[in-house]
Amino acid sequence: MIIDAYTNFPFKDMVLLTQLFTCTKNSKFLVKNTTTNLACVRYASKKSSTSTRNAPIRTIPKHRGWRVQDGHYVKESTILATQLKPRFHPGLYVGFGKNGTLYALESGKVMITCEKINPNMSRSWARLNYADRENNVIYKKHFNVIPESQHNRFVLIDTL
């Protein structure tokens, strides 16, 4: 008996299998006599597994909030704070961007104050952000920039 080295099956049994396929009653030849078309297929013995743990979401943080602290010196067009909702309000020499960014309009010293606001409820952004606090007193932080050289536009009207 000859043993096939690749499949470890006896070669005689393989020949018998090919003859069985070729010599069935009332059927055409399935396999040619000269070649053996049988192939051994190996299946995985274990099912491949995947992790069931939900992977953490890798979002890049936006780092919103204060950029400059109280008392620092800033140059013109320096970003003072970034925000989604109006947490901080612009004060003296501070601009308010479309995305809520506060930036300096003049070079000078930053001064942060807490002031009472009275939002104009006819504006859509005020209704969106302050609708639930309509009759309450609202205090918000205001960013102010005090320029180095003060302008001389003030006129003394009266003294006490």
Count how many domains the chain has: 1
Would residue 143 count as lying in a domain? yes
**Position 123 in a domain:** yes
30, part of any domain: no
Count CB-CB contacts under 10 A for residue 60.
5
Nearby residues of 144 by Cβ (< 8 Å), 6 or more positions away: 91, 92, 93, 94, 110, 111, 112, 113
Computed over every residue of the chain, the mean pLDDT equals 80
This prediction has a pTM of 0.57
- Domain presence at residue 121: yes
Where does the pLDDT of residue 12 fall: very low under 50, low under 70, confident under 90, or very high at 90 and above?
Answer: low
In a domain, 37, yes or no: no
Does residue 22 register a pLDDT over 70?
Answer: no
Stretch among 92-101, 102-111, 122-131, 145-154 having the lowest mean pLDDT: 145-154
